[in-house]
Structure 1
Amino acid sequence: MLKRKFMATPSEKLAESLDILKDIHGTGTVAIKSSDLTRTHRERLIKAGFLKEIIRGWYITTRPDETTGESTSWFTSFWDFIAAYLQERFGDNWSLSPEQSVILHAGNLTVPRQLLVRSPQARNQITTLPYETSIFETRATIASSKEVEKNSHGLKLFSLASALVNCSEPFYRNNPTETRTALATFRDASEILQILLEGGHSVVAGRIAGAFRNIGRERIAHDILSGMRSAGYQVSENDPFQDPSPFSIPPRQISPFVNRMRLMWHSMREPIIKIFPSDPGQPKDIEHYLKLVSDNFVNDAYNSLSIEGYRVSEELIEKIRSGQWQPEQNDSDRQQRDALAAKGYWEAFQLVKKGVEAVLKEENSGTIADQQHQNWYRALFSPSVTAGIIKASDLAGYRNQPVYIRRSKHVPPNSDAVKDLMHEFFDLLTKEPNAAVRVVLGHFIFVYIHPYIDGNGRIARFLMNLFMASGGYPWLIIPLAKRNEYMSALEVASTQGNIGPFASFLAELIVEQDNKIN
């Protein structure tokens, strides 16, 4: 008797292909070559939305629910993909440019529009990549074996000392935050001086000595000049920066992430102060101010949650505020998730309101934010913990894993840097004398660091409004209708260091809100 042969269903075939894809990822592979998959599996995964071609013969994994034109999977895969592609293309005979090496050493992982790569095998050509990104490969000197470093993504960089020696002078003027951040990581002159002496780089030595003096590292500048002159070189010191450093970076502070944030803060202060409307001063009637805050809850919660992609209605939010909401047995998982997010928002809002009251009574707003923001975070998600949707351990504190921002070229700092960054962030807020700066940078720097896996946008807007109260500004709602403008302004600040559009966006909202009230 013949046995009947069963045909695999389409879902079973897809499951088989996904198992193979999972095995590939298990090896740490991000950039997938055509040869890694059979044609059948490759076409099946592409059709189902799990695989996307980047350039001919090279792929990355994607999520099937990504919309057409979605850039998130590419930006999150960018650095690992580049490392694998270049290694396959050039073997060990390549490195990124000195300038790009400095940027990465400074902790800036923003995806560049064009990545500069060096190799003796390069063809001096551009390779076009998705979403207005590209590689420009140039036939030029690469980092020597003793000067090359490989970072956590597998990218081959010039060591920081070698990169600074090989950078052009305009790079210092065009990228002051990154170069000052990089310079500040050195404790002494020895590593750079050795390279300068070996290469006889007298002009470069004068430039680097001037750069160190610009950030207040007088001893390193002196040692470079005296070291070169003692070897018979004529050196003229030259400051390559266009402007003085906004502050002298303490020699004991060598964290590139912390120094970069401090430099960003100081470079962004003046543009904010010029753009933002003058603060109206502390309100005399605190109870009236707090009543207006409470009156804003439904509108604020609807817009803030909707910006984050939750599907909530004003009716649902009103029920939660009045204590009338109860979960329904026929609620879908999505409806339950959205309702619990709204409930968490209500609970967090009450804590923020208490913080606002303390600020109005002239407690330091930076100190209040430091002391209370973790409680806000826990309140946002405690209803989901109670419902068993997320684990209680998820509320322990700052993230301990990488995080990415949807559609953004900005890659938040690694998790090891988060605690130091948050400590410095609140120290800057506590000492900041200008309310407008606290408002704008309190929001922006928080989402720039992205200290939590989720909830960063909501907490950033809470911080913004806490600092609005510190200057007597009224509670500000960012409307869902302006989400694209809002996210675009944050992206410009994160990837280009230009805080102007975000400061202007908030300032215009304040004016619009004042006009409605009056």
Structure 2
Amino acid sequence: MATPSDKLAQSLAALKSFQDAGVVAIRATNLTRVHRERLLKNGFIREVMKGWYIPVRPDGSAGETTDWYASFWPFCGAYLSERFGDEWCLGAEHSLALHTGHWTVPRQLLVRASRGGNKPTGLLHGTSIFDVRLEVPAAGDTEVIDGMRVMRLPAALIVCSPGHFASHPVEMRAALAMVADASDVLTRLLAGGHSSIAGRLAGAFRNIGRARMADMITETMRAAGYTISETDPFNDRPPVAIGTRQTSPAVNRLRMTWGLMREDVLARFPKPPGLPSDVAGYLRRVEDAYAADAYNSLSIEGYRVSADLIERVRSGDWNPEDARDREHRDALAARGYWQAFQQVKKSVGRILAGKNAGDVAQDDHGAWYRELFGPSIVAGILKPADLAGYRNGPVYIRQSMHVPPRSEAVRELMPALFDQLREESEPAVRVVLGHFFFVYIHPYFDGNGRMGRFLMNAMMASGGYPWTVIPLAERARYMAALETASVHQDIKPFAAFLAELVKRRKNEAQR
């Protein structure tokens, strides 16, 4: 007779068959009632709406959002395809977001469908789908990106609401910069007789420095007999020059967002003290900060570390062959943190010697990461290949609506980030935006928070700011500020938070 464990194993095997096939949205009819009820009871699936489920981790808390945010896009794609077949696509605004690599989970996903119900369908954690009964663009004007049916870029630019240009300037400029030739939009403008839209797009292209494309649109439309008045739909000029050569939309987004955020940082951050004359003294203070930094940084990531463990690691009383350390993930993390800290301190020394902070970070961050996870290699938990470079797959941040860029984009974004650090003249901007964009990109499967804080403190040194610890007690505020910056592109709370810590650290040093 089968035991309860045997029965659960059978149900898990059924669930695994879906996961092996890449299925995220599981319909009630895909599982027998017995399997479904057993998996629900044991916390391995969760109901999203009547008759639809997603796999979840059984150890997640009641309010855990990570499984849902990680499942949001594939679930929506599967659900919409099941409901509407091919007769649906995302609205223009969400289509443009995906074209530019912006996969943040929206509160409400707007969908065009010929059989749409003109009402929202509630999902988990306050998210929803609103399917609007509208004609779906012709097959030539739609495409599928990672399971989501979207409008092709030119069609989306034409249909996009005028106000979206001003309310989402970074996204819209990045989308416009993706258009390789005016003919991509002209064909559709002429076919539809869209003279007012043509004037808006011409003004938008001129705003980003594509004057030839703007002229081609206006001259061609006039030659075809249309009266056209060029209007600029943006409220301002781009914060940075947008090159005429094809550039990754993700890189364009980073550069423009950096340009928009830097003034908010400068308005809140204290002036830099400048490189210290006593380099040895600065490095001693960095070393003095190690214990507090290790405890707080590791604890923020959920590791349980004690003063005893930190001291054993510092003194070398740590042995990967010892059972208490070999089997203790916290000890491995603490030892890796110590090794990485020593590498970062060397990088700080180079910066204090006058080396460009961006160059040092680009040259050295790989060594920081290898040291951070070196003990896990020694213990056999990770393979050496795991430290080969940036991630090669998707990654999700616990409790965050922000979905980090695709792995292909990471390889373009990281050099762009170091270019920004290299070219940035203000140390405060390097501190705040260096940390923010590192964790926004999330270039590794693990360790991004610790690496982001190491990068932050290396940039602190570039302005003579003290090594600054982000306290565990402030974790909620810290994570909320990063979420606001990632999801709403508002850096002000994060800049104010770090500025407060720097001022506090300065006051402590003066006592």
Could you give the per-residue CA deviations for residues 78-124 of structure 1, whole angstroms, max 9, x where no partner exists?
00000111111112111111111111111100000111111121121
Partner of 1:116: 110
TM-superposed CA distance for 1:328, in Å, is 7.7
Q: Which amino acid aligns with 1:447?
A: V
Change in Cα spacing, 1:462 to 1:329, as seen in structure 2 (3 Å) is closer
**Are 1:311 and 2:313 counterparts?**
no
Matched, 1:231 2:224: yes
1:332 shift after superposition: 7.9
Q: Are residues 1:46 and 2:40 paired?
A: yes
In structure 2, which of residues 151, 167, 181 is the aligned counterpart of residue 188 of structure 1?
Answer: 181
1:485 aligned residue? 477
- The one-letter amino acid paired with 1:395 is L
Q: What is the correspondence of 1:8-157 to structure 2 with a 5 Å cutoff?
A: 8-152=2-146, 154-157=147-150
Change (3 A) 1:222 1:75: same
Task: Tell me, in whole angstroms, the C-alpha distance in 2 between the residues paired with 1:217 and 1:321.
Answer: 57
The aligned runs of 1:373-452 (5 Å cut-off) are 373-452=365-444
Structure 2: distance between partners of 1:324 and 1:25: 43
Q: Secondary structure at the match of 1:165?
A: helix
Deviation at 1:15, TM superposition (A): 0.6
Q: Which residue of 1 aligns with 2:486?
A: 494
Output the amino acid matched with 1:253. Answer: Q
Aligned partner of residue 126 in structure 1, secondary structure: strand
Measured after TM superposition, the shift of residue 256 of structure 1 is 1.1
Correspondence for 1:164? 157
- 1:36-79 Cα offsets, whole Å, 9 max, x none, are 00111001011111100001110000011111110000000000
Structure 2 distance, partners of 1:141, 1:99, is 16
TM-score, reference length from structure 1: 0.97
For residue 3 of structure 1, what is the aligned residue in structure 2? none
Tell me the alpha carbon deviations over residues 412-469 of structure 1, each in whole angstroms, 9 at most, x when there is no partner. 1111111111111111110000101100111010111111111111111000000000
- The answer for the alignment partner of 1:266 in structure 2 is 259
Q: Which segment drifts farther, 179-188 or 247-256?
A: 247-256
- 1:296 maps to which residue? 289
Please give the alpha-carbon distance, in whole angstroms, between the structure 2 residues aligned to 1:327 and 1:159. 54
Q: CA deviation at 1:28?
A: 2.1
Structure-to-structure mapping, 1:310-349, within 5 angstroms: 310-326=303-319, 329=322, 331=324, 336-349=328-341
The percentage of counterpart residues that share the same residue type is 56
The residue identity in structure 2 corresponding to 1:360 is L
The offset of 1:511, in angstroms, is 1.7
Runs of 4+ residues over 6 Å off in structure 1: none
Out of 323, 327, 343, the position equivalent to 1:351 is 343
> Which residue identity does 2:211 align to in structure 1?
E
SS at match of 1:275: coil
How far residue 131 of structure 1 moved from its aligned partner, in angstroms, is 1.1
3-state SS of paired residue (1:331) = helix
Corresponding residue for residue 514 of structure 1: 506
Residue 24 of structure 2 aligns with an amino acid whose one-letter code is V
The answer to whether the 8 A contact 2:180-2:246 is kept is: no
Q: In structure 1, give the amino acid aligned to 2:98.
A: L
- For structure 2, the residue ranges without an aligned partner over 5 or more in a row are none
Distance 2:33 2:158 in 1: 47
1:197 partnered with 2:216: no
**Amino acid of the structure 2 residue aligned with 1:99:** E
CA–CA separation in structure 1 for the residues paired with 2:255 and 2:334: 35
Matched, 1:470 2:465: no
Verify: 1:453 aligned to 2:445, yes or no. yes
What's 1:504 paired with? 496
Alpha carbons 2:46, 2:53 under 8 Å: kept: yes
Q: Matches of 1:252 and 1:102 in 2, distance apart?
A: 20
Aligned to 1:4: none
Cα separation, 1, equivalents of 2:295 and 2:234: 47
What SS class does the counterpart of residue 15 from structure 2 fall into?
A: helix
Please list, as runs of the form range in 1=range in 2, the aligned pairs for 1:234-245 lying within 5 A after superposition. Answer: 234-245=227-238
CA separation in 2, counterparts of 1:500 and 1:402?
28
Q: Distance in 2 between matches of 1:59 and 1:516?
A: 52
CA RMSD of superposed structures (Å)? 1.2
CA displacement at 1:479 relative to structure 2: 0.5
- Deviation per CA, 1:475-501, whole angstroms, max 9, x where unpaired? 000001111111111111111111111
SS of 1:92 mapped into structure 2: coil
CA distance in 1, matches of 2:145, 2:67: 21
Task: Measure the CA separation in 1 of the matches of 2:402 and 2:307.
Answer: 33
Local SS of the residue matching 2:443:
coil
- How much does 1:516 deviate? 2.3
**Aligned partner letter, 2:64:** E
Rounded Cα–Cα distance in structure 2 between residues aligned with 1:321 and 1:213? 58
TM-superposed CA distance for 1:329, in Å, is 5.0
Contact 1:282 1:470 survives alignment (8 Å) = yes
TM, length-normalised to structure 2: 0.98
Matches within 5 A, 1:201-212: 201-212=194-205
Aligned residue for 2:143, secondary structure, equals strand
Matched residue type, 2:69:
F
Deviations 1:319-378 (A, max 9, x none): 111112345855387x62110111111111011001111111111000000000000000
SS of match in other structure, 1:246: coil
Could you say which residue in structure 2 is the equivalent of 1:215? 208
* 2:358 pairs with 1:366: yes
The alpha-carbon deviation at position 279 of structure 1 amounts to 0.9
How many residue pairs get matched? 510
Distance 1:432 1:386 in 2: 38
> What SS does the corresponding residue of 2:231 show, helix, strand or coil?
coil
